[in-house]
Structure 1
Amino acid sequence: MGSASSTLTQYDIEDVQEHCNNLFSQQEIISLYKRFCQLDRNAKGFISADEFLSVPEFAMNPLLLKMVDGLNFKDFVVFLSAFSPKASTTQKIELIFKVYDSDYNGKVTFRDIMEEVLIKVMEEAGYSKDSSLLLDDFVKILDHPGLKMEVEVPVD
């Protein structure tokens, strides 16, 4: 698996499969390798965050970009395995944790999460860090079908 232009051997495929906890079949790994080679425009053997931006699903989430900068193929597959339907909830949560563990110390502070989430929500709603919010703005940001503010009141 030296350069991105080389082909995968059966040993490489099995090694990558084991590295990603068998969340991808051998055929899926071959397909991912082809995609990796397309992203690795200069055949360096790794992809940069800029190259990863060409994947629309990931370009929409800049928080993930710091995690993908400089990934080799094996790490690329491991990263994508968290998005597999076969991945457990724990595996998906571990990826989210890594996104917020910006200094890679194994800890995420409440402030880190709240700042990142709030900034993202505000930006998606079209506001900048210098914006002020009126009640109508606040409603625009928070009014969506997933918002649940309900309390069940027991009736005797």
Structure 2
Amino acid sequence: MGLVLSSPRAQLSEDDIQEMKALTGFTGRQIVRLYHRFSHLDKGDNYLLSREDLERIPELAINPLGSRVLDMFFPSPSDEDAETMINFPKFLDLLSIFRKSDRSDSTKQRDRKLKFVFELYDADKDGVVTKKELFDVVAMMVGECEDNEMIQEVVVRTMAEATGSEDGPLDFDSFVSLMASCNVEQSLVVGFGQ
């Protein structure tokens, strides 16, 4: 995003809001609401959020994929280029993945959502989802389960359906084909208010 608000006490101007609306698809009211939420989470009062700040969001803390979602905001600490803090424009851009799409951008939003979900599965960020990565995410979503064999069967069937091989791996195009019948536009939506 081109917008940079860096002052610890930065305020949103009408120009800032208009630029953010154009870049993210959020309404002005949603941007102001998210700015207040961002400011509330900013315990360091430095106009930046850390991973720890976001871990305090109750809905994220109880989500079985919460740590994977946070990895999307904050890549691995072993990555030398990884950001350890995010500003409001970056926060807003990442959250815009979860907004409800409108007719003018439904294809773009669907593509962003599919890419996001694919990256949740692709833990090592090598561009493919392995059988183990798929197993790990399914196991996280199911929760504690005594029957790993059942999860393994689901993984094997999914890999075979998507790639023609029980062992995969699953590339992005195969993932998109697999998700063709899923309504990610509606199932990956957070209500940000009007």
- 1:103-122 → structure 2 map (5 Å cutoff): 103-104=124-125, 107-111=127-131, 113-121=133-141
Letter in 1 for 2:129: T
* SS, match of residue 98 in structure 2: coil
Which consecutive unaligned segments of at least 5 residues does structure 1 have? 143-156
Give the structure 1 partner of residue 67 of structure 2.
62
Q: Which residue does 1:16 correspond to in 2?
A: 20
Contact 2:42 / 2:49 at 8 angstroms: preserved in 1?
A: yes
Displacement after TM superposition at 1:108 (Å): 2.5
| Range with greater deviation from structure 2 (4-13 or 113-122) | 113-122
Equivalences, count:
129
Matched-pair contact (CA < 8 Å) for 1:13–1:29: yes
Q: Which structure carries more helix by proportion? A: 2
Deviation digits for residues 102-140 of structure 1, max 9, x if unmatched? Answer: 4555x1232363143144146x1x25xxxx6488xx59x
Moved over 6 A (4+): none
Calculate the TM-score normalised by the size of structure 1.
0.68
Larger Rg: 1
What runs of 5+ residues in structure 2 fail to find an aligned partner? 75-84, 155-194
Query: Are the equivalent residues in 1 in contact too, given 2:122–2:130 (CA < 8 A)?
Result: no
Secondary structure (helix, strand or coil) at the match of 1:82 reads helix
Q: In the alignment, does 2:91 pair up with 1:76?
A: yes
Identity of aligned residues (%): 24
Q: Which of 43, 46, 63 does residue 44 from structure 1 map onto?
A: 46
TM-score (norm 2): 0.56
User: CA shift at 1:68, angstroms?
Assistant: 2.3
Residues 114 and 101 (structure 1), Cα distance of their counterparts in 2 relative to 1, 3 Å cut: closer
Larger relative contact order, structure 1 or 2 (CA cutoff 8 Å, min sep 6): 2
